[in-house]
Structure 1
Amino acid sequence: MDAVQAAPAPMVSGIIIFLNGETYIEEAIQSVLAQTLTDWELILVDDGSTDGATAIARKYAEDYPGKIIYTEHPGHQNCGMSASRNAGLRLARGKYISFLDADDIWLPERLSHHVEILEAHPDVVMSMGPTLLWSSWSNPKEAARRPWMAADIPTELGLPVMTPFEPPIVAIGFLEKHGGNVPGICSLMVRREELLALGGFEDSFRTLYEDQVFFFKIGLNCRIIATDRILDYYRQHPGSACHQAGGMSGDAKMRPVFLEWLQDYLIDNGFKSRRLWKAFRGEMLRFDRPGLWRMQNIPSDIVDQFNVRTRRAVIFLLTPRFYTWLRRKLRLSVVDVTNVR
């Protein structure tokens, strides 16, 4: 460790956290080794693995001393995703931080592209890009049998590219348009000192929403820039952290915890933006009172056909399919109703 600390600090510290990821972790590490930018270190944080992932990670650290670093929690404990990212962050020495999950991969120009962006914009703290939801990696026979399950889907940020945004514009935009869903953490690069100044990750978020807490800390306080290049692949499989945490049911349990954290963070840090608070209240309403939220978002050309009392009945009792049927019956103009949920 002394030799590692004595070496010159790298441009980028990559951090991979893992828990029982023996099936995919080697591919993730190899994608880092294949980077066109070579001025990096890779920190492998073991979150209490009980499979062969620990041995794989240790072997890479032995083969690449000073370049790849293995670490674990005291007693080989499982401490959760946030605590593991923080453990990697404490060891990191790079000017920039990028995260890669053990079942995902970076394309070769992932680091060089984002370093180029941040070097050209010294007042920007974080760069981000779209991600490919990667299903085509799976068994070819399974893909042939169920081709709809093997389609790769690119995500979209919905932001102008190469345009620095002042805080909290990006955070507001994601609350308004994406329900608080944020870019994949493997698509981001952030300045290490600024992330440390903001306190890193929140250890209480062990699985779901740890990335959203991180994103909103940055988005509320720092300038952000976006690229339209897809340079990371987010593997879709039933053993992923999201699936293991319960999928949609886990999300429903953690959503109010995240929103409560966000509300406290906004209050404690004195955020006054009316648009920010309006966006936050809208998201609270969407989660806590979906009927009222749907009432606010029903297409106006349908709403105009009903008095207030009838509108409420429609909103609370009827399904999105009914709106489509009603539109046809009333011969109303075609308006997208897919967002009425």
Structure 2
Amino acid sequence: MTTISVVIPAYNAEKTILETINSVILQTFSNWEIIVINDGSEDKTLEVLQTIKDNRLKVFSYENSGVSGARNRGITHATGEFISFLDADDLWTSDKLELQLSALQAHPEAGVAYSWTYSINETGEPLEPFAPVYAGNVYADLLKANFLTSGSNPLIKRAAINSVGDFDKNLTGSEDWDYWLRLANKWQFVVVPKYQILYRRSTSSNSFKLQKMRKTTLDALDKAMKLAPPELQYLKNESLSNIYKYMVELYIGSLNQNYQVDIRFVIDNLWNFIKNRPQVLKNIYTYKLIIKILLTIIISPKLMNQLLKYIRKRKSSKQSTSSVIMQP
């Protein structure tokens, strides 16, 4: 019996799908199957998939239904005791499945294992680390922010998947957060304290369609707060603040890819980040965001991009970031 099913939704993924699948093939744990849902691709995604000679790879083609629909279809084809989702442009370190499975086996009360994440750009350059340490009942922490970062992170017990049902196809941008919240409402989480997820941010991804991303994230929060118990309703303002902060961070992250966005939209997000949680004005990080936005306005996004590249290069050389995140 297959232990782990890896579900990969793929839409026009010809540029990245091979590298993504190779990161599964190179896993130190080998009892897995890959379920690729070709979600109406119009490029050479299928041709690329046909070059992979591994009988653990199964490809199913459908008309386009979006990432939630593709994941739901993948679940119906999956035979594993555990399921993990992997976006077609993200990557895993080679020990991701092994260590997450070990964590779940060591904590039978948990239904979900997740790891630390590094975001990367289109060329694979590391951008930002995310190293949360929440474990056990993480529902309240997850209401504040999606600390799993992406849909490519957790390993989930089949029983947990069955208990919450399908991804919500009405959410097109925050379906991951909604699904993790539904899992957290019923199951405990366990964390693998290691960078194992390489989450790619690209100008073609939903992460940089900022107006749409904000709307769908706010929609997901509204849904979540309607389901949350009365004693957790006070978390809404903190969650709102975190959403607006994330929009500002995504804009700053987009500068190195020449992504254009209305600066008034960015300022609106910065204002709402502070308005919904004024205590953030006590944090030095808030002032760093303000300074970055002001510099972008004053010296232009292009020059700010060059400055951020220089800062990242200096930080990377000091911390040896690349060698850290790619350790097996």
Give the TM-score of the pair, scaled to structure 1: 0.69
1:279 correspondence with 2:235? yes
**Contact 1:136/1:152 (8 A) holds in 2:** no
Aligned-pair identity (%): 22
1:154 is aligned to 129
Letter in 1 for 2:160: E
Task: Provide the residue aligned with 2:100 in structure 1.
Answer: 114
2:12 corresponds in structure 1 to 20
The Cα shift of 1:187 comes to: 2.0
For residues 252-281 of structure 1, give each alpha carbon's deviation from its aligned partner in whole angstroms, at most 9, with x where no partner exists.
221332122213333xxxx34x1x221135
In structure 1, how many angstroms separate the alpha carbons of the residues matched to 2:165 and 2:119? 29
Q: Count residues in correspondence.
A: 259
Report the equivalent of 2:165.
Answer: 199
Residues 1-341 of structure 1 aligned to structure 2 (within 5 Å) = 9-60=1-52, 63-65=53-55, 67-73=56-62, 77-135=63-121, 137=123, 150-157=125-132, 159=133, 164-166=135-137, 170-176=138-144, 178=145, 180=146, 182-205=148-171, 207-243=172-208, 246=209, 248-266=210-228, 271-272=229-230, 274=231, 276-284=232-240, 290=272, 292-295=275-278, 298-299=281-282
Tell me, in whole angstroms, the C-alpha distance in 2 between the residues paired with 1:32 and 1:182: 19
Q: Distance in 2 between matches of 1:256 and 1:101?
A: 22
* Amino acid paired to 2:276: W
Change (3 A) 1:120 1:56: same
Q: Is the 2:237–2:277 Cα contact (8 Å) retained in structure 1?
A: no
Aligned letter for 1:40?
W
Question: 1:239: how far off?
Answer: 2.6
Deviates more, 1:181-190 or 1:103-112: 181-190
Unaligned runs of 5+ in 2: 245-268, 284-288, 292-328
- Residues 143 and 224 of structure 2 are in contact (CA less than 8 Å); yes or no, is this contact kept in structure 1? no
Q: Aligned partners of 1:12 and 1:107: how far apart in 2?
A: 16
Where do 4+ consecutive residues of structure 1 move more than 4 Å?
Answer: 284-289, 294-300
Bigger CA radius of gyration: 1
- Displacement after TM superposition at 1:296 (Å): 5.8
Match of 1:335 in 2: none
Contact 2:201/2:207 (CA < 8 Å) preserved in 1? Answer: no
Q: Structure 1: which 5+ runs fail to align?
A: 1-8, 139-149, 301-318, 322-341
> 1:282: Cα distance to partner?
4.1
Q: CA-to-partner distance for each residue in 1:266-320, whole Å, 9 max, x for gaps?
A: 3xxxx34x1x2211354358769937524465549xxxxxxxxxxxxxxxxxx96
CA 233–182 in structure 1, closer or farther in 2 if over 3 Å, else same: closer
Instruction: Give the superposition deviation at 1:151.
Output: 4.3
Q: 2:47 corresponds to which letter in structure 1?
A: A
Give, in whole Å, the separation in 2 of the partners of 1:211 and 1:236.
16
The AA in structure 2 aligned to 1:27 is E
> In 1, Cα distance between the equivalents of 2:32 and 2:147?
29
CA apart distance, 1:218: 1.2
Kindly indicate whether the alpha-carbon contact (under 8 Å) linking 1:13 and 1:42 is maintained by their aligned counterparts in 2: yes
Q: Which has the larger share of strand? A: 2
3-state SS of the aligned residue for 2:216?
helix
